[in-house]
Structure 1
Amino acid sequence: MSTTTAGYAAITGEEAVLAADTFDRMAAGIESAARCAPATVRLVLTAFATGGHVLLEDLPGMGKTTLARALAAVTGGTSRRVQCTPDLLPSDITGVTIFNDRSREFEFHPGPVFANVVIVDEINRTSPKTQSALLEVMQEEQVTVDGSPHPVPSPFLVVATQNPIDLEGTFPLPEAQLDRFLMRLSLGYPGEEAELALMRGALQTTPENLSAVLDGTEMARLAAIADRVIFADPVYEYVLRLAQRTRRHPRLRAGVSMRASIALCRAARMYALADGRVYVTPEDVKALAGPVWGHRLVPLSGAATAEEAAVLLDEVLAEVPVPGPHENRR
């Protein structure tokens, strides 16, 4: 067997089924509070379980914040919210060191980033200087204030929301900031029945009333199981060919980086596990290419919108041959 699971015990079907049941219960809780597509909920859960951050891009009033709060509730962690405004300072996010007159010592007062799920609302409405305050903590899970590192709780997830970049009063995120997000997702409008139910004031569970499905220890165990999901060499090579094609695309100034390829592989393992499978398929890769790679593409014209990225990735996926079904488990 040619996989990267060498040194690990092979994942069992029972483990995969139990993991899939955990995902189903978390998804059911979120969907009861946030009226969004089940596919989107599955992607958000995949990102969180993988240890990646999520950028929700959509128009105001689409339920982005409700989704993030529901995620925090079902995963049993603490959550804090940051409302971004043009006058927000970096210390308003990370925390600040203050001199204590009684003890005659400097004390660190942690900011809202010290939580398991940090909801950063309308991240592109704050200045680039404040946006950059999230760079270190999203990559290293710590903040450095006055030269002293302060680790944040584990697991740690940033769920940032942003309005489309062409709306007034926004500061587009730079490539380095975008690369910190594992996925960029869009909720879109709800279906007719769901929107009618909301308009009628139909009973809906609030995030605060959701029960936790698992805790941080169980989340770490889920990640360890995903590390043992079979990822066959032909599927690895498929990801590599896709990445190389983005780097040679005539309408792209820059394709995806090595970090983006690794991120896609990690997410694909968790995505397969959430489906109750012990191996990754090319279909998993294709389903995740848009959410994981779309915001990392740099077209000749500038930053790619979700729609532009989808078109470019569709072209790439159409041009690269897909491994046969018999190759997925070898």
Structure 2
Amino acid sequence: MLQWKLTIHVVNPDQEEKMSLATALSLTRHFANGAYRNLSELVRTSAIYLGIAVLVSAVMVLGMPVLRNQVAQMHRSVIDTLAPEDAQIDDNFAQLQEGPQVSSVRLDSIPGSGLLPAPAGGKPSSAEKPPASPAARLQPRISADQAQINVTETTAAQNGVRDLTNTQVEALVNYISRKYLVSQDAALLFVDIAHSTGGEYKVDPLLLLAVMAIESRFNPYAGGPRGGATGLMQIMSSVHRDKVNRFGRGESGFYNPAINGKIGAYILAECINRRGTVALGLVCYVGASDPSKDGGYAEKVQAERHRMALAASIPARD
């Protein structure tokens, strides 16, 4: 005869509670581990795609001049917004979206014969037809009102400034625009300033452009403490305030690229005349007593001068 044996297990309530707690902890750990793995994978994937996006954006900005100029202009707009109010100067240069705002000025309207005495041998006959300036050749990139900021073209032509072809001017403008992240209109303005003042003071325009590049990277708003090196060619405002006062602009004149370029060209020409050579003139310009104390300044300027000449296929001068 079969007998059934019934066994009844009585579970302690405390043990049941512990089992439930252990199960809950196990499920929580499992869920946390799964969430951590999924989150880690998401972060890793996002980082990969973000890196690809940054790389593609960088290639596009570097490879497309339009995007590169837009980024540069945004950067300059932020700088202009944060600039001190006392350096905000008038209007025209801001239209080029470069550096400080300056009003148009014709430097040939200043009374007198100029900052630097006329070179020996006198001036050529006024009957000579002056060559067109770089700005005139590349019109309508600069409007007639903006072109007024250019220093006098007649004086430049009379002093034998070299005549560049359209191709050379465009190549030089493109080189400056790409390397120093300035708009082509602004680069053309700097070329025209160097063209005019270089002719007036018998200084190679490429040398003036190279000094602008090394001194301020073509930022007419560059400057340190008040009274220090200021503007496009980093003129010592505390030393040369008398020169800028001749233009009736006071301290703000140092931020005008045309005025700053004219004064800088005068100082450099005076240094070259005094020291006898371009190399020693550059040492003088930077304020060093001899080449061993200029920190390699003259070599940097000359190297950049030759790079510009090579980029624009312009025969280099000694």
Query: Relative contact order (alpha carbons < 8 A, sep ≥ 6): 1 or 2 greater?
Result: 1
TM-score range, shorter chain: under 0.3
Could you state the TM-score of these two structures normalised by the residue count of structure 2? 0.27
Higher helix share: 2
